[in-house]
Amino acid sequence: MSIKDTLCNLFVGKRPKTQPQEALKKLAPTLVASRNVDTNRAAVIFVHGFHGDATVTWASFIAQLLGDCRLNDWDIYSLGYPTNLSIDFPIWTSDPDIKLCSIGLITKLRHSPLDRYKAITIVAHSMGGLVVQRAILNSDELRKRITHVVLFGTPSAGVSKAALGARLKQQARDMCEGSNFILELRKEWQDVIGENPPFSFTAVAGETDAFVPASSSIDPFPISQQAAVPGNHLEIVRPDCPGHLSYDLLYRILTASRRGVSATESGRLAVERKEFDRAIELLMPGANGLDANAIVSLALALESVERDKEAFEVIDNWNRNNDVPALDPIGVLAGRLKRRWLVTRQQKDYDRALQLYSDGLKHAEASGNHDQAYYHAINVAFLLLMSVAGCGPASSEVVDMASRALKHVELSRENQWSHATRGEAHLMVGDLAEGVTAYQEARRQAKTVRECDSIHMQAVFVATRIFGEEGARAIDDLFEL
């Protein structure tokens, strides 16, 4: 068996291509755009493994993505780097080592067309996952842009089978179990990234992968970051339908979010999440000295990345340290208490939230602030409604407060919140059709996924409480859930 055959059997599991095909492969593009829409700000970037390329390795995966309209707000690219079965002859030419490949990845992401994306998902196979990990460790900038990393069959702890090719290929030497590259990578990953990366991270093993065992592909990471799918080293990246577990895993990773966010907004949500991360990085160190607007921004950013406890704490601490807090922080603090009460049903949270909203309503009406007045009034009505179990018409107290909110809406600025309040108030007075119409406009004007989430959450609570399953379905249908 030739040296090329040996390498091919080790890393690819099949006979090598003919020489003309090999020559064509060397000319293959290093960046292939499968979808590039001007308005999209999120991208999925696929990175191949040893002896792969930008056009073939991920063809099946990309075909499934292109046929899935739920993910149209993600652009799709496949990124390549030099890797082939030819023996390295440094005096003339050779494939770059993995570290140099990682620098190439960083460079490509810094330049057009990839530099315009605010949120990036990287999906890598085999050795490509080592390239990606090294790039993440080398670039602060890249860590701030990445939202998801998914590694399929990556030898993160090295592979013993690479030793046979180590004398002939630098990339094989790097992949060897116990190599300097692997040892340094694992130590730096633990030191810099640790068990709580600033992005969604998933390592995937093939259940019948004989080349990269689970001990190398997933064991270096916490169990919460591990997954396993059927197939060998190559089959795990060749989904033939949307129901294939490898594809379904990626879909669920990209769309993982709160219930009020439809899958079609997952790219937009990924962009927003990175913006919230940057806001937290900027504002959190000086939280105690922030003004009213900044403390609200910080609390909302924390809540939007599921750091609800910290969101409550920063606004509560700020509120306690200010004798006459502005109306916005009062409402934000009340909102945190309201959401906590809906989950835990602690009476003290309900009482304090109701008091804060009631006080906020009085201050807003006294100062003629109609925007704040309808916000506080509708939340008082919401708490009164949800404090009574069962399903059916609202009490007269709730209807009166909802009507009070509507009066202030008519005197306020028109925006997503005024329409959401109008929708909620109509639900409370028993008019489902008018409520849905108002919510349609609220959703149309919503600027962020977080706003859609907030509007949907309260709407579905009220609709279910008054109209039962019919109301819940009407709201979910409106939000395309």
Question: What CATH code is carried by the domain that includes residue 7?
Answer: 3.40.50.1820
The last residue of one of the domains, among 217, 235, 255, is 255
The answer to whether residue 236 sits within a structural domain is yes
The last residue of one of the domains, among 255, 290, 309, is 255
The answer to whether residue 183 sits within a structural domain is yes
347/200 same-domain check? no
356/464 same-domain check? yes
The answer to whether residue 274 sits within a structural domain is no
249/107 same-domain check? yes
16/119 same-domain check? yes
206/328 same-domain check? no
117/229 same-domain check? yes
The residue type at 14: K
Total tally of structural domains belonging to the chain = 2
247/111 same-domain check? yes
Q: For residue 103, what pLDDT is reported?
A: 94
pTM: 0.68
243/344 same-domain check? no
pLDDT digits (tens, 9 = 90+) for 245-285: 999 999 989 887 544 455 556 776 777 778 888 888 888 88
- Contact of 428 with 398, CB cutoff 8 Å: yes
The answer to whether residue 206 sits within a structural domain is yes
Q: For residue 268, what pLDDT is reported?
A: 67
Average pLDDT score, the chain = 85
| Residue 412 structural domain | 322-478
Q: What does the buried/exposed string (b/e) look like for 255-268 if buried means 16 or more CB atoms within 10 Å of the residue's CB? A: bebeebbbbebbbb
210/104 same-domain check? yes
Tokens of residue 280, six digits: 């937290």
The answer to whether residue 290 sits within a structural domain is no
Instruction: Tell me how long the chain is.
Output: 481
CA–CA–CA angle 64, 68, 70 (5° rounding): 145
How far from 173 is each of 132, 145, 330, 363, 389, CA to CA, in Å? 17, 30, 60, 70, 66
Q: For residue 211, what pLDDT is reported?
A: 87
CATH of the domain at 452: 1.25.40
Q: For residue 369, what pLDDT is reported?
A: 92
The answer to whether residue 229 sits within a structural domain is yes
358/469 same-domain check? yes
Q: For residue 16, what pLDDT is reported?
A: 43
Low-confidence ranges of the chain (pLDDT < 50): 1-7, 9-27, 87-89, 91-93, 166, 258-260
* Residues in contact with 86: Cβ distance below 8 Å, sequence separation at least 6, in sequence order: 4, 22, 95
336/232 same-domain check? no
245/335 same-domain check? no
The last residue of one of the domains, among 227, 255, 283, is 255
